[in-house]
Amino acid sequence: MFHTAIAGSLPKPAWLAETGKLWPKWQAEGEALARAKADATLLWIKLQEDAGLDVIGDGEQSRQHFVHGFLEQVEGIDFLHKVEMGIRNDRYKAMVPQVVAPLRLKGRVHATEARLLRAHTQHQIKFTLPGPMTIVDTVADRHYGDRVAMAFAFAELLNQEALALQADGVDIIQFDEPAFNVYMADAADWGVKALERAAQGLSCKTAVHICYGYGISANIDWKKTLGDQWRQYEQVFPALAASRIDQVSLECIHSQVPAELMALLAGKDVMVGVIDVASDEVETPEEVADTIGRALQFVPRQRLIACTNCGLAPMQRGVAEAKLRALAEGAALARQRFGA
């Protein structure tokens, strides 16, 4: 009961990449970079286990960014000529690569780190991939001319990689879809269908992470405009409840998301965000247990997984480590309080 997991990313050590950035530069190249990525992955496996987490991830140490890490292995994308694009409905600008030809995988994307993760922990392992709608919102289209067609093209590639990750021994494959919280009508209309295409044929657990973004200032400013009730999930959760996706990850602590919206996810495992990624203040175990208690009004005990609100990538490493411990200690406290 109350298993613990992170949403996905963790800070990269200073010897691997620039710290405190969403698109950090690597500190090495070639063989040295490959070695550094593997070392950082091993480090975070150990630190997650030491913190007491149940589900272990690779902390996304091998990818520069959660979307572009996947795109780097896709043929038909021009990475040499990036263009500036407003993303998440123009919330912020990013330099993005361009789709210029039909899309095809060049080969495996995440085999190295998934196999490394499988070989070095006995715990359940979760692996994250960007969702089709979020990819479409983080790349410039010079070829398809149609967001839905391009999303389904990406969904096919994601599916190939997801099936291979399952064969590598991954227990849970999670697709990250922050764009669902921005284009809610499209998400309910075709976003969830594209997601199901990406998850087609998987027999391992499948998950989707929907958040209000990393703790960067553009996102913090955006949240201030959303009023005192954030009801974005209300439009998307019914479509997800009717889908074949097993688990849904959402923001909870320090958000204005009404807790009752979790009731829309009947039949799903709910990864409740009990750790804030937009603040360096470390939660106490009591706060974490209190948040779990609030969610329990709307989520059955056996379906609640305690999670972070989003990835921890841009944080300081020490803060992230402390937050992992708070997550595990808070879930343990909740087991005592609500376990009977």
d(CA 153, CA 333): 45
C-alpha atoms less than 13 angstroms from C-alpha of 54 in its C-beta half-sphere: 16
d(CA 113, CA 119): 10
327 contacts Zn ion (rule: CB under 5 A): no
CB of 313 to Zn ion, least distance (A): 10
Q: Looking at residues 218 to 247 of the shown chain, list those that interact with Zn ion (rule: CB under 5 A).
A: none
CB of 178 to Zn ion, least distance (A): 5
Which stretch in 15-23, 28-36, 85-93, 305-313 sits in contact with Zn ion by CB under 5 A? 305-313
- Read off the tokens for 326: 């708070």
Which stretch in 51-59, 132-140, 165-173, 306-314 sits in contact with Zn ion by CB under 5 A? 306-314
Which stretch in 68-76, 78-86, 227-235, 310-318 sits in contact with Zn ion by CB under 5 A? 310-318
How many residues bind Zn ion, per CB under 5 A?
Answer: 2
Residue 265 or 310 having the CB closest to Zn ion: 310
**Is there a contact between 312 and 277 (Cβ–Cβ < 8 Å)?**
yes
Residue 99 or 240 having the CB closest to Zn ion: 240
Residue 164 or 319 having the CB closest to Zn ion: 319
- Cβ neighbours of residue 149 under 8 Å, at least 6 residues apart? none
Which stretch in 118-126, 268-276, 283-291, 307-315 sits in contact with Zn ion by CB under 5 A? 307-315
d(CA 234, CA 267): 16
CB of 257 to Zn ion, least distance (A): 13
Site string for Zn ion, 103-132 (x = CB under 5 A): ------------------------------
Q: How many residues does the chain have?
A: 340
Q: What angle do CA 119, 122, 128 make, to 5 degrees?
A: 70
Helices 317-338 and 285-295, interaxial angle, to 10°? Answer: 50
310 contacts Zn ion (rule: CB under 5 A): yes
CB of 7 to Zn ion, least distance (A): 5
d(CA 43, CA 197): 34
DSSP-derived 3-state class of residue 138: coil
Residue 66 or 152 having the CB closest to Zn ion: 66
Alpha-helix runs per DSSP H in 104-231: 111-120, 132-136, 147-167, 184-186, 192-198, 217-224
Nearest residue to 302 via CA among 259, 247, 255 = 247
CB of 320 to Zn ion, least distance (A): 14
Which stretch in 37-45, 119-127, 287-295, 308-316 sits in contact with Zn ion by CB under 5 A? 308-316
**Is there a contact between 307 and 253 (Cβ–Cβ < 8 Å)?**
no
Residue 6 or 332 having the CB closest to Zn ion: 6
- Cβ neighbours of residue 80 under 8 Å, at least 6 residues apart? none
Residue 176 or 283 having the CB closest to Zn ion: 176
CB of 134 to Zn ion, least distance (A): 10
CB of 209 to Zn ion, least distance (A): 6
CB of 213 to Zn ion, least distance (A): 6
Q: Looking at residues 199 to 218 of the shown chain, list those that interact with Zn ion (rule: CB under 5 A).
A: 211
Binding residues (CB under 5 A) for Zn ion: these are 211, 310
